[in-house]
Structure formats: C-alpha cells, structure tokens
C-alpha cells in the first residue's frame, strides 16, 4: 500500500479516514437513503419556489401538477429548467467525484484533477477565437470533446510500460492543467471575443442556461451513470491496493479505464451544460463517506442523491443573498466548499 500514502496533494490514504469506525450496517443505511431522497425532493421543490419572487410551497405543487397562466405559474415554469440542470449536474459531479477519488485513492480527488475543466475551457476558447463557433448551445459540442480529449491525454501521459498508478494520474493531470491554463490565458488575452464569452462561462452558473442543454447532455450523462452503476465492486477492490485487488481477481487496468471513462463522461457533461463548478465533486463524496464509510455500493447512491441537493441549495443561497440580483452557483460552492475542505482537513489526523 505504499503508493496509496504518497499521493502528492494529501499524503493521506482514503482508508485512514474510513477505517477507524466499524462499518455501518445496511439496516441503518437503507433508511438513510430514503432520507437523502426526501431531502433532495424538498430541495427540488424549494428550488422552484425560492427566488426574487417567492412562491409558497402549496402553490408550487399546484403550479406543477396543474399549470395555469398566472404569474406564479410562469415563475415556477421558468425555474424548472435550471432545477433540472442542477439535478443532473449535481448528481454527475458528485458521482464522478466518488469515482475519481476511488481511482486515485486520494480522498481529496476531484474530477478537475483529470483535466476535465481546462479541457472543456480550452476547446471553447479555441472554437470562439479561431472558428467563430461556440456561443450559446453550440458550446456543448466543443466542451464535451474538449473535456474527453483532455482526460485521454492525462491517461496517456500518466501511463507507462509499468501501467498507471494513482500518483502518475494526479501528476499528469497537473501537467495538462498547467499547459492548457497557459494556453487559455494566451488565447483569451489576445482574442477579445473569446475572453468575453469565456469569462461568463468559467463562472459556473445554473441561471440563463439554455433548456436545450438538458437534452444535449443527457445521453452522455446517462451513459456515464450506467457505467458508474457497474463499478462499485471493482472500486472497492481497487481501494485495497493494486496488488491485493489483482490477487483477488479484480481487473485493475479495466477498472481504471472504465472508471476514467465514466468520470469523464459525467463531469464533461455537467461542465458542458453549466460551466465548471468547484467542490461538489470534492466535498459531497467526503461528507457522504463520513457516515457510510468507504463502501462504494453506498457511496455512489448517496452521492448521487446528495450532490444535486447540495448544488441546488448553493444555487438557492446565491439567489437569496444577492436578491434581487443573483450570485452564480460557482461562487457559492467555492465559498461553501472551501470551509468543508478545511473541516475535512482537521478531521483527518493522518501522517504529515
């Protein structure tokens, strides 16, 4: 397990965070799952109710089941696309966070580590600067391939004859991120159009996003979720270290490829739809792990339910505190997520 403790960002292994307490029983966690679903449902309702114009919850219900043409109905209708986007993006980010943390054995792993965000951003600025495409809903068709290509590049750079290890993946991600960030800066500083579009996209937001985006990114997200659903067992094996996992019969290489693909599809889809959003992929799995332990069979469904709840809650906060204007959800998650990370750091009493 030597390599699990040498991940450069932390020097902590995920087992240290989870192994201290006995694993919670399924009998206790199953009701928890129902509770999480309940929380999500409540947040979904709040998301269509709360904003500059507040619609009382009973009225929301009426507007949803029997929409009329009144002002309240219109407001509720207008908030449905962003709520659905938040639901999809939050689930995708949280699940891809769980997968990346499992693959890199780094409890502070984040899909951004694999270059998803910079890949998408680089493709977008390139499209706008050189080909005149990439504004509005066209952006998805740049962001998705860009993100996927960046992940492939990270995997290619992170693999050698000896195979891929978590440390290599993280470092390769840092390299690709550094190079692409410089490229993005160079393009945005020399092409005003690209910069103007980029500065609004890079601040991830659910507001003013095209409802078309839902349909455009849904296939990728569904594929990603389906792949993720196959992975819990393999990820559990991977957590034991490559050698143990291999000797237990797990196919380590295949898990890494499939996991990378699932994480990339999910995170790329979410990023293409709403822009880069920090900390959902990092913080949600971490919070979930604090009560489920390291078993991916529980981690994945809990994260899929609580990820969107957290993202939409942040979105609601952004709508309320700057009312009648809005604070983009990307800003809110950064400022809410950073303290969560600090809390996590304090909680882990690993080796220094």
Partner 1 sequence: MSAEGSRPGIAPDAALSSTATRRPVVRVGSWLSLPYRRRSVVVGGILAVGVLLLALLTLTLGTLGIPLTELPAAIASPKPGRTEFVLNVLRGPRLVTAIGTGAALGVAGALFQTVTRNPLGSPDVIGLGAGASAGAACFGLLLPGILPVPAGALVGALVAMGLVWLGTGRGFSSPGRMILVGIAVSAMAVAFVQYVMTRVNQQEATTLAAYISGTLADRDWGDATEIWVAVIVLVPFALLLGRRLDLVEMGDDVADSLGGRSSLTRTLVVLVAIGLGTAAVAATGPISFVALTAPQVARRLAKAPGAGILLSALFGAVILMAADLLVQQSPFGAQLPVGLLTAMVGGVYLGYLLLREWKKGTI
What SS3 class is residue 227? helix
Tell the smallest beta-carbon distance from residue 190 to partner 1 (Å): 6
Applying CB under 8 A, among 33, 39, 45, 174 the residue interacting with partner 1 is 174
Tell the smallest beta-carbon distance from residue 345 to partner 1 (Å): 5
Between 63 and 113, whose beta carbon lies closer to partner 1? Answer: 113
Q: Are 51 and 325 in contact (CB under 8 A)?
A: no
Residues with Cβ within 8 Å of residue 137, at least 6 apart in sequence: 210, 212, 213, 216
Q: Which of residues 279-298 bind partner 1 (CB under 8 A)?
A: 279
Q: Which of residues 103-142 bind partner 1 (CB under 8 A)?
A: 108
Place of tokens 């303290």: 339
Region binding partner 1 by CB under 8 A among candidate stretches 97-105, 172-180, 251-259, 309-317: 172-180
Phi, psi (5° rounding) for residue 251? -95, 95
Tokens for 32?
């928890």
Angle between helices 71-104 and 26-49 (to 10 degrees): 140
Tell the smallest beta-carbon distance from residue 128 to partner 1 (Å): 14
Place of tokens 């693999």: 159
Within 13 A of 311's CA, how many CA atoms are on the CB side?
A: 35
Applying CB under 8 A, among 26, 156, 182, 229 the residue interacting with partner 1 is 182
Between 226 and 345, whose beta carbon lies closer to partner 1? Answer: 345
Tell the smallest beta-carbon distance from residue 297 to partner 1 (Å): 28
Tell the smallest beta-carbon distance from residue 276 to partner 1 (Å): 9
Applying CB under 8 A, among 152, 203, 222, 317 the residue interacting with partner 1 is 203
d(CA 291, CA 279): 19
d(CA 247, CA 251): 9
Q: Which of residues 19-58 bind partner 1 (CB under 8 A)?
A: none
Residue 175 binds partner 1 (CB under 8 A): yes
Q: Which of residues 305-344 bind partner 1 (CB under 8 A)?
A: 327-328, 330-331, 334-335, 337-339, 341-342
Applying CB under 8 A, among 2, 160, 249, 324 the residue interacting with partner 1 is 160
Applying CB under 8 A, among 79, 105, 168, 296 the residue interacting with partner 1 is 168
The CA–CA distances, whole Å, from 282 to 95, 105, 248 equal 10, 13, 29
Between 45 and 348, whose beta carbon lies closer to partner 1? Answer: 348
In this structure, the chain runs to a length of 352
Q: Are 80 and 278 in contact (CB under 8 A)?
A: no
Place of tokens 């945005």: 188
- DSSP per-residue codes, 130-190: IIS--SGGGHHHHHHHHHHHHHHHHHHHHEETTEE-HHHHHHHHHHHHHHHHHHHHHHHHH
Tell the smallest beta-carbon distance from residue 182 to partner 1 (Å): 4
Region binding partner 1 by CB under 8 A among candidate stretches 51-59, 90-98, 126-134, 156-164: 156-164
Residues that bind partner 1 (CB under 8 A): 8-12, 108, 157, 160, 162, 165, 167-168, 171-172, 174-175, 178-179, 181-183, 185-186, 188-190, 192, 195-196, 199-200, 202-203, 278-279, 327-328, 330-331, 334-335, 337-339, 341-342, 345-346, 350-352
């Amino acid at each position: 397990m030597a390599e699990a403790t040498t991940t450069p960002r932390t020097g902590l292994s995920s087992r240290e965070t989870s192994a201290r307490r006995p694993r919670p029983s399924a009998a206790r966690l199953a009701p928890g799952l129902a509770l999480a679903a309940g929380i999500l449902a409540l947040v979904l309702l709040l998301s269509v109710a709360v904003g500059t114009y507040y619609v009382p919850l009973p009225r929301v219900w009426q507007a949803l089941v029997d929409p009329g043409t009144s002002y309240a109905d219109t407001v509720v209708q207008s908030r449905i696309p962003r709520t659905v986007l938040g639901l999809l993006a939050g689930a995708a980010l949280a699940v891809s966070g769980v997968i990346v943390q499992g693959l890199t054995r780094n409890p502070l792993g984040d899909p951004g580590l694999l270059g998803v965000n910079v890949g998408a951003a680089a493709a977008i600025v390139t499209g706008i600067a050189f080909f005149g495409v990439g504004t509005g809903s066209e952006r998805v068709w740049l962001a998705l391939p860009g993100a996927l290509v960046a992940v492939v590049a990270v995997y290619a750079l992170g693999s050698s004859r000896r195979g891929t290890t978590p440390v290599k993946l993280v470092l390769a991600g840092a390299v690709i991120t550094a190079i692409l960030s410089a490229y993005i800066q160079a393009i945005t500083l020399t092409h005003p159009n690209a910069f103007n579009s980029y500065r609004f996209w890079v601040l991830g937001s659910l507001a003013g996003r095209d409802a078309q985006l839902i349909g455009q990114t849904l296939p990728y997200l569904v594929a990603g979720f389906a792949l993720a659903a196959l992975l819990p067992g393999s990820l559990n094996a991977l957590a034991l270290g490559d050698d143990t996992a291999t000797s237990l019969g797990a196919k380590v290489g295949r898990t890494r490829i499939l996991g990378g693909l699932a994480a990339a599809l999910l995170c790329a889809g979410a990023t293409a739809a709403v822009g880069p959003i920090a900390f959902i992929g990092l913080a949600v799995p971490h919070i979930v792990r604090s009560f489920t332990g390291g078993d991916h069979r529980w981690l994945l469904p809990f994260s899929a339910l609580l990820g969107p709840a957290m993202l939409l809650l942040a979105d609601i906060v952004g709508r309320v505190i700057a009312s009648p204007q809005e604070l983009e959800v990307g800003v809110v998650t950064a400022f809410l997520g950073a303290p969560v990370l600090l809390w996590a750091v304090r909680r882990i009493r690993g080796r220094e």
